[in-house]
Amino acid sequence: MGRVAAPYGVRGAIKVLPLSADRAALLDHRRWWLRTRAAPTQWQPHQVQSARAQGAMLVAQIEGIGTREAAAALRGAEVGLRRQDLPELAAGEYYQSDLVGMAVANREGIALGRVAGFVESGAHPLLQVRNEAGVERLIPWVGQFVVQVDVDAKRIDVDWPADY
């Protein structure tokens, strides 16, 4: 949902770069989960005392983080929410995290690889597909190229040439 970019001020506030389509989505929640570089496999809950949008960033005061140094230690931490705290999706909508690991094939049935993640490009997200040889493709996540998402089969069909 976001990444801690830097400390803000001298009282322990942090600047967070939102990574979701709705830049203000984190503002509706008073408990954020942080995964730091020091403990990359552990998500820890943190109470949000206050948070506001400021330009493209969010500025938040986290309970227990009272100094600039403590806030600086969070730089690079990922910010997330529990799955049950996320809003319900409409038909045809997906959380990007649910698509990671899915197989990707083109209209000809040629396997292109698996979803490694998404890259934000400004205009629209790019589906990051990596095959077993480590070859990576970036496919625009738009209806023109994404033909079908089959959640049950864990497969995404795309209109994308195998040699591109």
Range of the domain at 150: 96-158
Q: What is the pLDDT of residue 139?
A: 97
Show the 3-state SS of 120-162: ECCCCEEEEEECCCCCEEEEECCCCCEEEEECCCCEEEECCCC
Alpha carbon of residue 152 to chain centroid: 22
User: Do residues 12 and 77 share a domain?
Assistant: yes
Task: Encode pLDDT of 9-20 as tens digits.
Answer: 999 999 999 987
- Number of structural domains found in the chain: 2
Beta strand pairing status for 155-158 and 78-80?
unpaired
**Are 64 and 46 spatial neighbours (Cβ–Cβ below 8 Å)?**
yes
Q: If you count them, how many residues does the chain have?
A: 164
What is the percent of the chain with per-residue pLDDT over 70, rounded to a whole number? 100
User: Do residues 79 and 113 share a domain?
Assistant: no
Task: Encode pLDDT of 59-116 as tens digits.
Answer: 999 999 999 999 999 999 999 999 888 888 888 888 888 899 999 999 999 999 999 9
- Does residue 89 lie in a domain region? no
Query: What CA–CA distances, in Å, run from 11 to 16, 57, 62?
Result: 16, 18, 10
User: Do residues 129 and 106 share a domain?
Assistant: yes
User: Do residues 55 and 10 share a domain?
Assistant: yes
- pTM (2 d.p.): 0.69
Dist CA 16 CA 5 (whole Å):
5
CATH of the domain at 15: 2.40.30.60
Query: What CA–CA distances, in Å, run from 93 to 87, 138, 149?
Result: 11, 20, 10
